Amino acid sequence: MLCRKNSSVVDRGNVPVYLNVYDLTPINGYAYWFGLGVYHSGVEVHGIEYAYGAHEYPSTGIFEGEPKQCEGFTFRKSILIGKTDLGPLEVRATMEELSEIYKGSSYNLITKNCNHFCDEICIKLTGNPIPSWVNRLARIGKLSGNTPFKSLRFSFFLTEDVSSEVLAFGYNAD
């Protein structure tokens, strides 16, 4: 896939920050080569992957897990976004700060999804955005206006064992 390289990549430190991209559907195997696809993403820093997902409660939708192991999705690739000088506690504080904005109940596939979250985190940590192809479908949906994709929600529900997220698709008729 051809991607335009951002010529103004910022290097802020010595800790690498990766964007881990996952396929939501097997069709991505074909759509990827046309610059399309439906993707989930998470940000890996200090050996922890942070991501965002939907649930019905007004608490945070940010969760953490083992890098490249997001259950229910197929790992596609890891992309070095840049580097940060923030330590593990400062990264955790950044996530806590964003937990007020990224509530599980405010997830929206078109305007506030996991890729939007990852873009904001990557900019905060490195000064660099995520590649545009990762969230292209949401931008197309936003530009097209009234679309059935607006009410499609990708949800995760935490079980008692937080290490095993159960991922589900739901349709919200709002």
Lowest-confidence segment of 18-27, 145-154, 155-164 by average pLDDT: 155-164
Q: Say what the pLDDT of residue 88 is.
A: 97
Q: What is the pLDDT of residue 10?
A: 65
Reference 21, options 38, 33, 36; nearest CA is 38
* Structural contact between residues 106 and 61, judged by C-beta atoms closer than 8 angstroms: yes
- As given in the structure block, the two tokens for residue 24 are 């939501």
pLDDT of residue 41: 97
Task: Identify the residue with better confidence: 17 or 141.
Answer: 17
**Residues near 92 by Cβ (< 8 Å), separated by ≥ 6?**
none
Q: Inter-axis angle of helices 114-126 and 88-99, to 10 degrees?
A: 140
Across 136-140, average pLDDT: 78
Average pLDDT over residues 25-51: 92
28-37, 61-70, 163-172: the lowest-pLDDT one: 163-172
Is pLDDT at 45 greater than 90 in this prediction?
A: yes
pLDDT at residue 9, rounded to an integer: 61
Neighbours of 146 (CB within 10 A): 6
In this structure, what DSSP letter does residue 145 have? Answer: -
Q: In DSSP terms, which residues pair with 82 in a beta bridge? A: 17
Mean pLDDT over 19-42 rounds to 90
Active-site positions read 40, 114
Q: What is the pLDDT of residue 22?
A: 97
According to the model, what pLDDT value does residue 169 have? 30
Average pLDDT over residues 17-23: 97
Q: State mean pLDDT over 72-96.
A: 97
